[in-house]
């Protein structure tokens, strides 16, 4: 869930100077309207790694908005009084009233994450705590609150550089303590714990917004615009608020994202391709016949741009396996029977037994891609789907399945070339339809949907692999290599656990 926050987002000083006055004025207007409206409170959670700009962002919000109607609540270790009460008691007391904005510097997430890192909370207890928090936040939203949750992220090297820079500046040196450097040593544990917490609590009514904390201007503008957009939309919404209302997705304020960051020029020469293809097909054949694989199952999920080469890649995978061991599931529009059931029902029916492989050509992600873009489902449906899909994949993983997801990306120019080739070649004409041409007109909407999908569903248990597919040879080898490496790692984990027992 942190991929888009490790791309190096930056905003030029000139752009910031141009945008800041307009944003400040709009925020003040929205805050005044919130005060006049008086029908709901705003709860803003500021969390993240040390040095990522949490305190600076709170200061910026105080500078840009009327501080008389803001309150900041900072939580450290609970006091004796608080320890004698239920865990959530002190947070209940700190909630802002209607018409005001409460900023939580540290929140009900801080203690569970810290305790998990220190080994004082096992995963089962952590999950129970997250369930409790989910119910609490659902209650807040159903009571009318607008809940915005920010996680400020830095890559490990970025955090180290950031702490050094703060330490060198006399005006910011006080922010860096021995504890800050000590926490850098537990960075990997923090990412594991935080990633799990964010996945468990990334709900449709209160989703997490992950923001890269490297550049102060980018971070400030991003947070300011998200707060403004959320306030404006909520104030304009005249519907009955007795149901969950999700904050908007993070706006794009520069041109860098997980798709534009891909290098689509990568390619393999024919001789290298043939050698690598044989190598990884042979390795895959060995792995699916490994004794440990009899205790697991493999689920391969393929999504991608039209004409990106999903079918060709799948054929190279199946060439390495016994046909009795795998099943290819092409996913089209749901049937009447499937529409009469919950959305994920038709995919649950296709889950493989242990020792088997299911290959999905298009997947459950249709809800947050084609259904979202084409308007086949409501906004509430596809916003809710991110959480449901994450839970679905987590359940598969927990049960022993190895879930590997691929997005195949090609350039607009390469797609046009392949479309025209399909029209000319007799045996490929079935692959091109009027719908494919029509989808090109909505390329921008699909691009945004794919980026949101990766950001919200690339989890530690089922991460997305983005494949540069302009060169089919490069794409096929990358896919096979990824499958082999993930499969081998999972099977080795099983052997290690057995030995540990």
DSSP class per residue in 288-301: TTSGGGGG-EEEEE
Sign of the dihedral through C-alpha 374, 375, 376, 380: positive
Q: Please provide residue 358's backbone torsions phi and psi, each rounded to the nearest 5 degrees.
A: -115, 130
Q: Give the C-alpha distances (Å, rounded to integers) separating 247 from 98, 162, 251.
A: 17, 30, 11
| Nearest residue to 457 (alpha-carbon basis) of 208, 227, 161, 291 | 208
Q: Highest mean pLDDT range out of 96-110, 379-393, 462-476?
A: 462-476
Question: Token digits for 411?
Answer: 């350039």
Question: Quick one: what percent of the chain has pLDDT higher than 90?
Answer: 61
Q: Please provide residue 488's backbone torsions phi and psi, each rounded to the nearest 5 degrees.
A: -65, -40
Which residues pair with residue 467 across a beta bridge? 408
Between 206 and 166, the higher pLDDT residue: 206
Question: Token digits for 416?
Answer: 């046009």
Whether 82 shows a pLDDT value over 80: the answer reads yes
Predicted pLDDT of residue 228: 97
The average pLDDT across 383-396 equals 89
Percentage helix, strand, coil for the chain under 3-state DSSP, each rounded to 5: 55, 10, 30
The average pLDDT across 27-34 equals 96
Q: Give the C-alpha distances (Å, rounded to integers) separating 348 from 338, 344, 392.
A: 11, 6, 9
Question: Token digits for 217?
Answer: 């201007």
Q: How would residue 244 be classed by pLDDT, with cut points 50, 70 and 90? A: very low
> Which 8-state DSSP code applies to residue 97?
P
The average pLDDT across 452-469 equals 95
Question: Token digits for 154?
Answer: 């830095």
Report the chain's mean pLDDT, rounded to a whole number. Answer: 89
Instruction: Report the range of poorest mean pLDDT among 159-173, 203-217, 344-358.
Output: 159-173
Whether 455 shows a pLDDT value over 70: the answer reads yes
Predicted pLDDT of residue 183: 72
Q: In what order do the strands lie in the sheet with 401-409?
A: 326-330, 357-361, 297-304, 401-409, 464-468
> Which 8-state DSSP code applies to residue 2?
-
3-state SS, 378-389, equals CHHHHHHHHHHH
Predicted pLDDT of residue 274: 96
Whether 187 shows a pLDDT value over 60: the answer reads yes
- Measured CA to CA, the distance from residue 246 to residue 167 in angstroms comes to 38
Q: Highest mean pLDDT range out of 77-81, 82-86, 149-153?
A: 149-153
Environment class of 167 (CB within 10 Å of its CB; exposed 0-12, middle 13-18, buried 19+): middle
Whether 29 shows a pLDDT value over 90: the answer reads yes
| Nearest residue to 11 (alpha-carbon basis) of 168, 162, 224, 258 | 224
- Measured CA to CA, the distance from residue 134 to residue 111 in angstroms comes to 15
Residue length, the chain? 501
Domains along the chain with CATH numbers = 16-236 (3.40.50.300), 270-500 (3.40.50.300)
Element (H, E) at 126: helix 123-142
- Measured CA to CA, the distance from residue 151 to residue 2 in angstroms comes to 10
Placement of tokens 């609590």 in the chain: 201
The average pLDDT across 195-214 equals 93
Contact status, residue 277 vs residue 443, Cβ threshold 8 Å:
no
Q: Please provide residue 148's backbone torsions phi and psi, each rounded to the nearest 5 degrees.
A: -120, 125
Whether 415 shows a pLDDT value over 80: the answer reads yes
pLDDT digits (tens, 9 = 90+) for 304-322: 999 999 999 999 999 999 9
- Measured CA to CA, the distance from residue 83 to residue 359 in angstroms comes to 51
- Measured CA to CA, the distance from residue 468 to residue 407 in angstroms comes to 9
Beta strands (DSSP E) in 4-100 are: 42-48, 70-74
Predicted pLDDT of residue 159: 76
Q: How many other C-beta atoms lie within 10 A of the C-beta of residue 270?
A: 8
| Inter-helix orientation angle 178-185/187-200, to 10° | 80
Contact status, residue 206 vs residue 8, Cβ threshold 8 Å:
no
């Amino acid at each position: 869930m942190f991929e888009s926050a490790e791309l190096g987002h930056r905003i030029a000083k000139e752009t910031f100077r141009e945008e800041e006055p307009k944003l400040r004025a709009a925020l003040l207007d929205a805050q005044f309207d919130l005060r006049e409206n008086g029908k709901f409170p705003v709860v803003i959670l500021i969390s993240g790694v040390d040095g990522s700009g949490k305190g600076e962002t709170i200061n910026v919000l105080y500078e840009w908005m009327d501080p008389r109607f803001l309150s900041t609540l900072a939580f450290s270790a609970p006091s004796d009084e608080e320890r004698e009460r239920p865990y959530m008691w002190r947070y209940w007391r700190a909630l802002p009233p209607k018409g005001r904005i409460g900023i939580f510097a540290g929140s009900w997430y801080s203690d569970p994450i810290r305790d998990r890192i220190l080994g004082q909370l096992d995963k089962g207890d952590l999950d129970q705590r997250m369930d409790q928090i989910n119910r609490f936040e659902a209650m807040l939203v159903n009571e009318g609150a607008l809940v915005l949750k920010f996680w400020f992220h830095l890559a490990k090297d970025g955090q180290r550089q950031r702490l050094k820079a703060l330490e060198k500046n006399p005006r910011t040196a006080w922010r860096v303590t021995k504890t800050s450097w000590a926490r850098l040593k537990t960075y990997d544990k923090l990412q594991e714990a935080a990633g799990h917490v964010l996945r468990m609590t990334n709900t449709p009514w209160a989703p997490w917004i992950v923001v890269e904390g490297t550049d102060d201007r980018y971070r400030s503008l991003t947070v300011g615009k998200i707060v403004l957009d959320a306030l404006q939309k909520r104030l304009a919404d005249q519907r009955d608020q007795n149901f969950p209302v999700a904050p908007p997705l993070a706006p794009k304020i520069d041109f860098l994202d997980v798709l534009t960051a891909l290098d689509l020029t990568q390619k393999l020469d024919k001789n290298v391709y043939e050698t690598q293809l044989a190598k990884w097909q042979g390795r895959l054949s060995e792995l699916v016949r490994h004794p440990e694989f009899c205790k697991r199952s493999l689920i391969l999920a393929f999504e991608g741009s039209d004409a990106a080469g999903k079918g060709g890649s799948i054929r190279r995978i199946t060439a390495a396996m016994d046909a009795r061991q795998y099943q290819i599931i092409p996913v089209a529009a749901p049937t009447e029977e499937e529409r009469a059931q919950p959305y994920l029902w038709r995919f649950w029916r296709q889950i493989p037994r242990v020792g088997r492989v299911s290959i999905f050509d298009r997947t459950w992600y249709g809800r947050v891609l084609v259904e979202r873009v084409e308007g086949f489902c409501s906004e509430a449906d596809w916003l809710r789907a991110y959480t449901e899909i994450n839970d679905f994949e987590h359940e598969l993983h927990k049960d022993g399945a190895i879930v590997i997801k691929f997005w195949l990306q090609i350039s607009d120019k390469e797609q046009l070339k392949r479309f025209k080739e399909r029209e000319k070649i007799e045996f490929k004409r079935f692959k091109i339809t009027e719908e494919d041409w029509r989808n090109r007109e909505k390329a921008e909407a699909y691009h945004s949907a794919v980026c949101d999908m990766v950001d919200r569903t690339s989890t530690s248990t089922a991460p997305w692999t983005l494949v540069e597919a302009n060169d089919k040879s490069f794409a096929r080898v990358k896919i096979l290599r990824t499958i082999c490496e993930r499969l081998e790692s999972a099977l080795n984990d099983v052997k290690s656990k057995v030995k540990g027992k």
